[in-house]
């Protein structure tokens, strides 16, 4: 039996595929390659020495999704596929709602038809909204501040409702915080199309000279250096969390929301300093006004992941930045 990885050529998806294959799992990848590169598949195969079925299918194409289940023996799904840029979601909300929610409904319908009822969903700390009581715990009230976050929360609710209607489903809702880093080989990393939305790839492009400087949004927060504090975790630690989550959903039925984070926050300027140490390059920045909806501090209470999954993040900030720099240095123009 295989694990279907939707969005398996993406940043987190590709690293998760590597860890699944290295753990002896069989996988099937579904990806429309709208924000990823087909060459990522070759790199996963190079790193693992294993081949696997790949379907260039959009989750909005219901017949295409059902065909994957008809062709393959799938016993669990890890669902990454979806649009994921917060700012873009504010500009084109209907596109985000249609893609992320309709696509997930298509996927779950195909799963139900095939009798596959185990799913690990790629959720997000954005479901905690503007909560300021850190560390964030899974039982906190949920809210959102943008359409991207709203799609994550809606999908969580959809999956809960599916379980209520059929208690044989087993669902893990993984709320992750801020993934950064890259595979140690330099073959896989965060490779967004266009100007990056996330901090680390933006910092990396400044360090390599592709962008002139970093904008630091806000320097007057109630934090040690005035800049926003976030819970950054290494993408390989995050990938290993998905492997543990698959093992968990195979054990029995139910729904669990689980934070994946380090439980520690780093400020923007701490990340910049760590990247400068890793790269030996200066990262020029300028202070810009705060962005609407940003909060001062956000980091996880990750104790549930340790208790339930046996998982905890082990890689530190300097290693995250060193691995990001290795990927950028090896792939200055992307994959």
Q: Which residues are catalytic?
A: 148
In DSSP terms, 29 is beta-bridged to: 5, 54
Contact 234, 276 (CB under 8 A): no
Which runs of E-coded beta strand occur in 101-227?
Answer: 118-124, 170-176, 178-180, 214-217
Number of H helices and E strands in the chain, helices first, is 12, 14
Q: How many CB atoms lie within 10 A of CB 202?
A: 19
Whether 8 contacts 33, CB under 8 Å: no
Cα-Cα end-to-end distance for the chain? 31
* Residue 125 DSSP code: G
What helix, strand, coil percent values describe the chain, rounded to 5? 40, 20, 40
Nearest 5°: the CA angle 254, 59, 113 is 50
Please name the residue ranges forming H helices in 186-280.
199-207, 235-249, 268-279
8 Å CB contact between 204 and 325: yes
The answer to whether 202 and 214 have CB atoms below 8 angstroms apart is: yes
Q: Kindly report the length of the chain.
A: 335
Q: Is 75 exposed, middle or buried (0-12, 13-18, 19+ CB in 10 A)?
A: middle
Residue-by-residue DSSP string for 169-196: -EEEEEEE-EEE---TTSS-----SSS-
How far is the C-alpha of 235 from the C-alpha of 155, rounded, in Å?
Answer: 23
């Amino acid at each position: 039996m295989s694990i279907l990885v939707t969005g398996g050529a993406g940043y987190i998806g590709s690293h998760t595929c590597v860890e699944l294959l290295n753990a002896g799992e069989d996988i099937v990848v579904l990806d429309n390659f709208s924000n990823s590169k087909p060459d990522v598949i070759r790199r996963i195969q190079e790193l693992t020495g294993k081949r696997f079925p790949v379907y260039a299918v959009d989750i909005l194409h219901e017949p295409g999704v059902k065909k994957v289940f008809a062709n393959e023996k799938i016993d669990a799904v890890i669902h990454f596929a979806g649009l994921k840029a917060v700012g873009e979601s504010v500009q084109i909300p209907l596109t985000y709602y249609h893609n992320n929610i309709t696509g997930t409904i298509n996927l779950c319908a195909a799963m139900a038809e095939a009798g596959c009822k185990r799913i690990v969903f790629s959720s997000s700390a954005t479901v905690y909204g503007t909560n300021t009581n850190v560390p964030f715990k899974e039982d906190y009230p949920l809210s959102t501040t943008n359409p991207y976050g709203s799609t994550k929360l809606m999908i969580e609710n959809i999956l809960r409702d599916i379980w209520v209607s059929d208690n044989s489903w087993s669902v893990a809702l993984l709320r992750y915080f801020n993934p950064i880093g890259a595979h140690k080989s330099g073959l896989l990393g965060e490779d967004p199309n266009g100007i990056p939305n996330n901090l680390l790839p933006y910092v990396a492009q400044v360090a390599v000279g592709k962008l002139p400087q970093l904008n630091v949004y806000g320097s007057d927060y109630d934090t040690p250096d005035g800049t926003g504090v976030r819970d950054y975790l290494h993408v390989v630690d995050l990938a290993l969390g998905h492997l543990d989550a698959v093992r968990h959903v195979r054990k029995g039925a139910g729904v669990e929301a689980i934070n994946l984070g380090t439980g520690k926050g780093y400020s923007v300027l701490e990340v910049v300093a760590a990247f400068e140490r890793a790269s030996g390059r200066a990262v020029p920045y300028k202070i810009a006004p705060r962005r609407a909806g940003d909060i001062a501090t956000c980091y996880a209470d990750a104790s549930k992941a340790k208790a339930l999954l046996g998982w905890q993040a082990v890689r530190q900030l300097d290693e995250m930045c060193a691995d990001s720099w290795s990927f950028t240095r090896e792939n200055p123009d992307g994959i």
